[in-house]
Amino acid sequence: MNRLLRIVMIAMIPQLPFAIEPSHGDQLLCVKRVYVDMLDGDDGALQMRNMLISALQQSHLFIVTENEERADAVLHGSAKDQVYNESHSSSEGVNAHVQASTGNSAYRGGSANKSVGGSLGETESSHSVERKHETTAAIRLVNMDGDVIWSTTQESQGSKFKGSMADVADKVTRKLADDLAKARAARPPAKPVR
């Protein structure tokens, strides 16, 4: 009984108001100005940063700033640009061998032998070396409180008309634009002010 009384009393205590944090989509919609930080990774990370800045600037999603203190959010991450050779070797062969033989032997006279032989063969080999270029980037958008509000990982081996690094920068920007559009669509319409 005593335990039941405590449970009822606790349930009757008014709940303290909690500060509900906005969703990642709402936080993403509040970002107006972005700073692109130096990316971790290999030597291509600096070039990847510059391509991200260019792609973001062309997208008009945000104002891209070189002053981190003025930014609403910072784009962090890492990038790896890899150039390597891929070797392919193959070999095929066909061989045929035919032989026929007949022979006669006589004890007192001599011997007669007939023999026919033939061999046919063909072998084909090929070796090719293909130069490959692959870029990978893991990018996150962090608000000024240090919370990650958006992230993506993209990779590319290049496309028909652009290199792998430019392709990754465009994929990151397209993903961010798509997620911003989804956040806008999920936001309830504003009530008119009377």
What pLDDT, on the 0 to 100 scale, is given for residue 141?
96
Residue type, position 138, single letter: A
Stated as kind and residue range, the H or E segment containing 96 is: strand 73-105
What pLDDT, on the 0 to 100 scale, is given for residue 18?
41
What pLDDT, on the 0 to 100 scale, is given for residue 111?
66
Going from N- to C-terminal start, the domains of the chain cover: 21-83+136-186
Contacts 24+ apart (CB under 8 A), 58-67: 58/173, 59/173, 59/176, 59/177, 61/173, 61/176, 61/177, 61/180, 62/31, 62/32, 62/33, 62/34, 63/32, 63/33, 63/34, 64/33, 64/34, 64/35, 64/36, 65/33, 65/34, 65/35, 66/35, 67/35
What pLDDT, on the 0 to 100 scale, is given for residue 112?
66
Would you call 66 helix, strand, or coil by DSSP? coil
Stated as kind and residue range, the H or E segment containing 136 is: strand 111-143
Distance CA 104, CA 30 (A): 104
**21-83+136-186 topology per CATH:** Rossmann fold (3.40.50)
Give the rounded distance of the alpha carbon of 111 from its chain centre. Answer: 79
What pLDDT, on the 0 to 100 scale, is given for residue 113?
67
Q: Over its length of 194 residues, how does the chain's per-residue pLDDT go in tens digits?
A: 555 545 544 455 444 344 445 677 788 999 999 999 999 998 889 999 999 999 999 999 999 999 999 999 999 999 998 877 777 778 787 777 777 666 666 566 666 667 777 777 788 888 777 777 789 999 999 999 999 999 999 999 877 778 888 999 999 999 999 999 998 888 777 666 66
Among the listed residues 40, 106, 52, the one whose alpha carbon sits nearest the alpha carbon of residue 77:
40
What pLDDT, on the 0 to 100 scale, is given for residue 138?
96
What pLDDT, on the 0 to 100 scale, is given for residue 107?
60
- Quickly tell me which residue has 């990847």 as its tokens: 48
What pLDDT, on the 0 to 100 scale, is given for residue 16?
39
Task: Give phi and psi for 142, each to the nearest 5.
Answer: -120, 130
Residue 158, phi-psi category: left (phi > 0), alpha (psi -120 to 50), beta (remainder): left
